[in-house]
Amino acid sequence: MTRCTRLLTFFLPALALAPLTVPAQTPLFWPDKNGPNLDGTVPAADAERIPQTWNLESGENILWRTPLEGEGHSTPVIGGDLIWFTAASPDGKKQWVYGLERETGAVRHHVLLFENAEPEPLGNPINNYAAPSCVLDETGVYAHFGTYGTAKLNPETAEVIWQRRDINVNHFRGPGSSPLLWENLIILTFDGINHQFITALSKDTGDTVWLTERSTDYGDLDKDGHPTRDGDMRKAYHTPRVFEIAGQPQLISVGSRSAFGYDPRTGRELWNLPHGGFNAAIRPLMGDGILYLNTGSERSHLLAVRVDDAMQGELTATHLLWDYDKRNASEADMILHHGRIIQITRGGIVSCLDAKTGEKIWDGRLEGQFLPSPIRAGDHLYVSNDRGQTFIIADQGDQMEILHTNTLDAPISAGPAVADGALFIRSKEAIYCLKTGAQLKR
């Protein structure tokens, strides 16, 4: 089935710049852009403690604010005493990794990781050169900038343990897919206009373990055999997940025009699900034997796929349970809770669907542009926009209920993170620590 899957016996060399001598600090509070469970859920102990209101003018419930250099959509990840995220200069020629002290906001590390002489133009006003988020484990910080490079850093010193700059595509609109840590692998997604594949590296050495080309028939060739629109309909920004399906791990990844299930240990393609979308960016969810897949931007579809031990080949006719085609999210990840899916479009349309049937329970409208993924804390959702606002929405009932609206002083395009009862929000200009009972010192 898979046109080109390569399990590499002799690994490609990675550039090892410093030996690993110090383990990462723990606990891993928020090791992934979508939290410890990779689904936007805040642990129950923290959900009860994080504030629902804050006030920048009075400083209420704000512990600290740290100004930032550069820009980025990357969501903070948190391990032990440090907060990690990436940033880049607006022209993409410089790309940094930040490490901040969680309790004070002091900058402990500000590493210029990559310099690029001629970055490809973004070609749009939405993206930037630091959109993918870092991931953490006990041994390191993994920073990813798409085609510009991937590196593992020592969490104590921020020294580079290994780096790769030889895995390349033309993103056309900038990088967006974040890495996934699974067992001893870091899994990277590259859906560019010229090359589309998914690859796994050894998290210890950076060596390539496997690389699998997309088997998609994009159906976009012109009369001369060239992709139309320079291959723009082939790109995607998806971050995958691994689920246990029929007793075996499956790597679920959505690309342009097709979604896939892979064996995460070898990269072997197990099944595919053709769809009509492109620019896929929404992370998959699974619950009660159903897999939920968003197909991309511009009239995207939300597909519900039955999971079982017969998932092989093309799944369209055999496993598709329902297809919701109205006002689906394009950047912000979905939330699955209490048998309901809640999603928000870039333009602020919030909808709540019955996860079993796909029927709409309610919808509503928020002002602003919404790129960050929401988080769920108990029965409350935290949703942020480009006006610096964060809405606290009740995750229950038969209509949208806004409980609180909080405003910071700059647009927000990164998702929030939570650690030890504190909420961390990164805006275009600064990162904030929000904690119940705190008072910002001027």
In the 3-class helix/strand/coil scheme, how is 340-374 assigned residue by residue? Answer: EEEEECCCCEEEEEECCCCCEEEEEECCCCCCCCC
Is it the case that residue 3 has pLDDT exceeding 70?
no
SS3 of residue 318 by DSSP: helix
Q: Identify the pLDDT of residue 183.
A: 98
Q: Which whole number is the average pLDDT over 323-332?
A: 94
Is it the case that residue 8 has pLDDT exceeding 50?
no
Q: Identify the pLDDT of residue 6.
A: 44
Q: Identify the pLDDT of residue 14.
A: 42
Q: Identify the pLDDT of residue 317.
A: 82
Residue 4 and residue 267 in contact, taking contact as beta carbons nearer than 8 Å: no
Counting Cβ atoms within 10 Å, is residue 17 exposed (0-12), middle (13-18) or buried (19+)?
Answer: middle
Q: Identify the pLDDT of residue 421.
A: 97
Is it the case that residue 96 has pLDDT exceeding 50?
yes
User: Quick one: which of 60, 4, 17 has its CA closest to 437?
Assistant: 60
Q: Identify the pLDDT of residue 316.
A: 83
Q: Identify the pLDDT of residue 258.
A: 95
Beta carbons within 10 angstroms of residue 18's beta carbon: 13
Residue 407 and residue 388 in contact, taking contact as beta carbons nearer than 8 Å: yes
Task: Quick: pLDDT tens for 376-399.
Answer: 999 999 999 999 999 999 988 899
Q: Identify the pLDDT of residue 39.
A: 98
Is it the case that residue 144 has pLDDT exceeding 50?
yes
Counting Cβ atoms within 10 Å, is residue 74 exposed (0-12), middle (13-18) or buried (19+)?
Answer: buried
Task: Quick: pLDDT tens for 209-218.
Answer: 999 999 999 9
Alpha-carbon span 340 to 334, nearest angstrom? 10
Q: Identify the pLDDT of residue 224.
A: 86
Strand partners, 86: 97
Rounded to the nearest integer, the mean pLDDT of the chain is 93
Q: Identify the pLDDT of residue 22.
A: 41
Task: Quick: pLDDT tens for 167-201.
Answer: 999 999 999 999 999 999 999 999 999 999 999 99
Q: Give the position of tokens 């920048």.
A: 56
Domain 22-439 top-level CATH class: mainly beta
Is it the case that residue 166 has pLDDT exceeding 50?
yes
Q: Identify the pLDDT of residue 397.
A: 85
Q: Which whole number is the average pLDDT over 225-239?
A: 91
Phi, psi torsion values for 64, nearest 5 degrees: -155, 160
Alpha-carbon span 109 to 100, nearest angstrom? 7
Please report which confidence band the pLDDT of residue 299 belongs to, taking 50, 70 and 90 as the band edges: confident
Residue 430 and residue 412 in contact, taking contact as beta carbons nearer than 8 Å: no
Please report which confidence band the pLDDT of residue 442 belongs to, taking 50, 70 and 90 as the band edges: confident
Q: Where are the alpha helices (DSSP H) in 212-355?
A: 316-319
- Among the listed ranges 14-18, 156-160, 240-244, 310-314, which one has the minimum average pLDDT value? 14-18
Q: Which whole number is the average pLDDT over 33-58?
A: 97
Strand partners, 433: 64, 424
**390-426 CB burial, b ≥16 within 10 A, e <16:** bbbbebeeeebeeeeebebeebbbbbbbbbeebbbbb
Is it the case that residue 89 has pLDDT exceeding 50?
yes
Task: Quick: pLDDT tens for 241-295.
Answer: 999 999 999 999 999 999 999 999 999 999 999 998 999 999 999 999 999 999 9
Alpha-carbon span 331 to 352, nearest angstrom? 17
SS3 of residue 229 by DSSP: helix
Type of residue numbered 373: S
**Sign of the alpha-carbon dihedral angle for 70, 75, 78, 81:** positive
Return the percent helix, strand and coil in the chain, to nearest 5: 5, 45, 55
